[in-house]
């Protein structure tokens, strides 16, 4: 249980960092384009939604923390 909690927490942190990276890359690409905001308005080419990656990462971190705490309690009481 503790191992699975650590895995979830690690994947959650990776998801948060990936979302921040995608968001930064997306907005930097928009800033470098000259006068055309078509990519921003039509979302083409499609990219991962950075907000979804960050929210999913936070959910995974919370789940991992709950599993770590539960596993630690069970480890010490049993």
Per the structure, the complete domain to which residue 17 belongs is given by: 2-27+49-77
Residue 44 lies in a domain: no
Query: What digits encode the pLDDT tens for the residues 6-19?
Result: 999 999 999 999 99
Residue 53 lies in a domain: yes
Residue 56 lies in a domain: yes
> How many structural domains are present in the chain?
1
What distances in angstroms separate CA 6 from CA 35, 60, 63, 73, one per listed residue?
46, 10, 10, 15
Among residues 12, 19, 27, the alpha carbon closest in space to that of 61 is found at 12
- Stretches where the chain sits below pLDDT 70 are 34-37, 39-40, 43-48
- Its pTM stands at 0.76
Residue 73 lies in a domain: yes
Residue 38 lies in a domain: no
Residue 60 lies in a domain: yes
């Amino acid at each position: 249980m503790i191992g699975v909690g650590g895995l979830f927490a690690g994947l959650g942190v990776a998801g948060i960092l990936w979302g921040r990276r995608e968001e930064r890359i997306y907005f930097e690409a928009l800033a470098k384009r000259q006068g055309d905001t078509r990519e921003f308005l039509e979302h083409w080419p499609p990219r991962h939604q950075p907000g979804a990656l960050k929210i999913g990462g936070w959910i995974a971190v919370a789940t991992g923390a709950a599993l770590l705490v539960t596993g630690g309690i069970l480890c010490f009481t049993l």
